[in-house]
Amino acid sequence: MKTLQQHGGTVTVTGDGVNDVPALRAADLGIAMGSGTEAAKSAAKMVIVDNNLSVIVDAIRNARVIVHNIRKVIYYLVSTSVTEIVLIGSSVAAGLPLPLLPIQILWVNLVTDGVQDKTFPFIREEGDVMQRNPVPPDRQFFDRRQIRRIIIFGLVMGSIGTLLFMHLLGIYPYKLVVTIMFTSFVCFQWFNGLQAQMEREPYLLDIRKSLSINPYIFYGIGIGIVLQLLAVYALPGIFGTVPLAMEHWGYVIAMSLAAFFLVETIKWVEYRKHRHAP
């Protein structure tokens, strides 16, 4: 067991007797039988109550799905925050007015993060997780791929948002510009959330699979749409907005598509690189 661990292996040991205690303690995952001794159960990290060893496989599968879903929601939440930081930081550095009002920033976090991320626990298994090698706990999150995607999305979408803000200031009143930026940031985060459902494959590679991996996210988006329309059209005094005309929604749609296809491009590059790797 120690040899396997020294070579980077993840070791699981099952046992039920006092003589198994040292191995249960030393293993990465010690599993005791429910009918075993109290010493074995106290030394183990997991106890199988019904002594059915198939439970181990089910537990590992479910745990891997949960970890993958946590990775996805981390990407979604952090990339959202980085985008806002880049947009606001760039605007302040350029001497421009605030592209989003403080209450609008809170609303963006509520309507995107607060509504959509609640559906992430329902994401189904992406591929066969049992065919993948175990990943050490310290490398489960914020690995190179995840950090790279967060940085690229945040920098690119934050920069696009800044350029759009500068462009809009030259043709529209400030209050209308802020409303367009506000709605754009809410909407393109929904598309980013859709992309976050699929981490290992491009969204358009298998569109049926992508749409069915988590149907609940569309309920979250639907609730978000209603709330955003209320903020823009029913409660303009609270959120500092003005009603948007059809031509203004073109900017919102453009930003949303830019976010979607930015992530899609990153995924295709990584997917093709992985397929052609030796």
The full set of domain ranges for the chain reads: 2-52, 65-275
Nearest-10 crossing angle of helices 174-196, 54-93: 160
Give the pair of three-digit tokens for residue 156: 């690119």
Q: Tell me how far CA of residue 121 lies from CA of 131, 145, 151, in angstroms.
A: 21, 21, 24
Over 60: is that where the pLDDT of 11 sits? yes
Q: Using CA atoms in the order 127, 202, 269, 272, what is the torsion angle rounded to 10 degrees?
A: 50
Mean pLDDT of the chain, nearest integer: 88
| Residue 167 to residue 206: CA distance in whole angstroms | 36
Q: If you classify domain 2-52 with CATH, what class do you get?
A: alpha beta
Q: Cα–chain-centroid distance for residue 25? A: 34
| Residue 12 to residue 1: CA distance in whole angstroms | 9
Beta bridge partners of 47: 32
DSSP output for 247-276: HHHHHHHHHHHHHHHHHHHHHHHHHHHHHT
Average pLDDT over residues 26-34: 83
- 153 or 34, which is more confident: 153
| Residue 60 to residue 48: CA distance in whole angstroms | 13
**Candidate from 10-14, 97-101, 138-142 with smallest mean pLDDT:** 138-142
Over 60: is that where the pLDDT of 238 sits? yes
pLDDT given for residue 1 in this prediction: 67
- CATH 2.30.30.90 fits domain 65-275: no
Average pLDDT over residues 136-159: 87
Please tell me which of 43-47, 158-162, 200-204 the model is most confident about, judged by mean pLDDT. Answer: 158-162
Over 80: is that where the pLDDT of 242 sits? yes
Whether the model clears a pTM of 0.75, i.e. scores above it, the answer is: yes
Per-residue pLDDT band at 276 (split at 50, 70, 90): low
Three-class SS of residue 46? strand
pLDDT given for residue 257 in this prediction: 96
pLDDT given for residue 32 in this prediction: 85
| Residue 154 to residue 216: CA distance in whole angstroms | 26
Q: Give the residue among 33, 32, 29, 37 at the shortest CA–CA distance from 5.
A: 29
Instruction: Judge contact between 161 and 99, C-beta under 8 A.
Output: yes
| Residue 236 to residue 238: CA distance in whole angstroms | 5
Over 90: is that where the pLDDT of 57 sits? no
Q: Tell me the Cα Rg of the chain.
A: 24
Average pLDDT over residues 157-161: 95
Per-residue pLDDT band at 277 (split at 50, 70, 90): very low
